[in-house]
Amino acid sequence: MKGLQGKTAIVTGASSGIGQAIAVRLAAEGCNVVINYRSDAEGAEATAQQAHEGATAAGYPSQTLKVQADVSQVADIKQLFDTAIATFGRLDILVNNAGIQMEAASHEVSPEDFDKVINVNLRGAYLCARAAIQQFLQQSQPGSIINVSSVHEVIPRPQYISYSISKGGMGNLTRTLALEYARQGIRVNAIAPGATETPINDDWVDDPQQEAIVNRHIPLGRPGTPEEMAAATAFLLCDEATYITGQTLYIDGGLTLYADFREPWSA
Ligand code: NAD
């Protein structure tokens, strides 16, 4: 895709799932990719290997760098950005992908568990965006940010109150930063995946019966793949999307189309 070659990208939570696919895709588009991971060093190494294979096949000399950092920790974020910038000399792209979810009835969620999810999904995303924007402003060329949100940016999610709030907040994080830094040429967008085949969904991925139940709710009749999320991310970051900012792109097989309205309710 136009304009991605030679850029430097940080992808948080890139040792599995959507983050892994995004890191691999960006490397195949010619980006140098910083693979952030929290604890899964093996997953990060798998990402690096796939990224290398993809870049080689595409004929790009993309490099990768694995950096362990917990995005809920301020000191870790500083170390992540310092290491990335010291290695590649610049930063062009941040993908805020790291995310967790915890299930419990809303009246029973402990304050500690609530904070845990918000601290990774929303506060972590903001603090990484803050560090990226500080670097973008020091450079001659502005950069671009993608927040990995969710259909739960707009669809309420009972039993997952902290996740629901974090993704709702991510919509406003995207729009607020987009507006605040548009004059400097910094673009901020979000992708909002629907049900996607990744480890976060291991309660139904690899269970055909459970997956059939999930599929019934999706107008296109199947879950999304991490690669489909990565393709949309690459598009929003590339030079075909230079007039797009502050938007959330729903990549959800129609999940946000109110599937209950597929048939008329009454004659
Ligand atoms: P996943 O569990 O494979 O990926 C989440 C990644 O975040 C993991 O690699 C994990 O190690 C990392 N992570 C968690 N806490 C972290 C921390 N404190 N610091 C750094 N990294 C951390 O699942 P996924 O589906 O690939 O999720 C990626 C993103 O996509 C998440 O933000 C998730 O909310 C979002 N999403 C997923 C779906 C889906 O159906 N899979 C749908 C909508 C949105």
CA angle at 95 for the pair 94 and 99, rounded to the nearest 5°: 135
- Local confidence pLDDT in tens for the 267 residues of the chain: 999 999 999 999 999 999 999 999 999 999 999 999 999 999 999 999 999 999 999 999 999 999 999 999 999 999 999 999 999 999 999 999 999 999 999 999 999 999 999 999 999 999 999 999 999 999 988 999 999 999 999 999 999 999 999 999 999 999 999 999 999 999 999 999 999 999 889 889 989 999 999 999 999 999 999 999 999 999 999 999 999 999 999 999 999 999 988 999 886
- The arrangement of strands across the sheet holding 144-148 comes to 64-68, 32-37, 8-11, 93-96, 144-148, 187-193, 248-251
The domain defined by 8-254 folds into Rossmann fold (3.40.50)
pLDDT value for 79: 98
Whether 163 sits among the annotated catalytic residues: the reply is yes
Report how far ligand 1's centroid is from the alpha carbon of 267 (Å): 43
pLDDT value for 265: 86
**Ligand 1 near 123 CB (within 6 A):** no
* Of 12, 40, 198, best ligand 1 pocket probe by most atoms within 8 Å of the beta carbon: 198
**Ligand 1 near 193 CB (within 6 A):** yes
d(CA 33, CA 94): 10
Q: Quick one: 80 exposed, middle or buried, by C-beta within 10 A (0-12, 13-18, 19+)?
A: buried
Q: From atom 2 of ligand 1, which residue's Cα is the shortest distance away? A: 200
Please state whether 131 falls in left (phi above 0), alpha (psi between -120 and 50) or beta. alpha
Q: From atom 33 of ligand 1, which residue's Cα is the shortest distance away? A: 99
**Ligand 1 near 66 CB (within 6 A):** no
pLDDT value for 260: 87
d(CA 225, CA 198): 8
Report how far ligand 1's centroid is from the alpha carbon of 131 (Å): 20
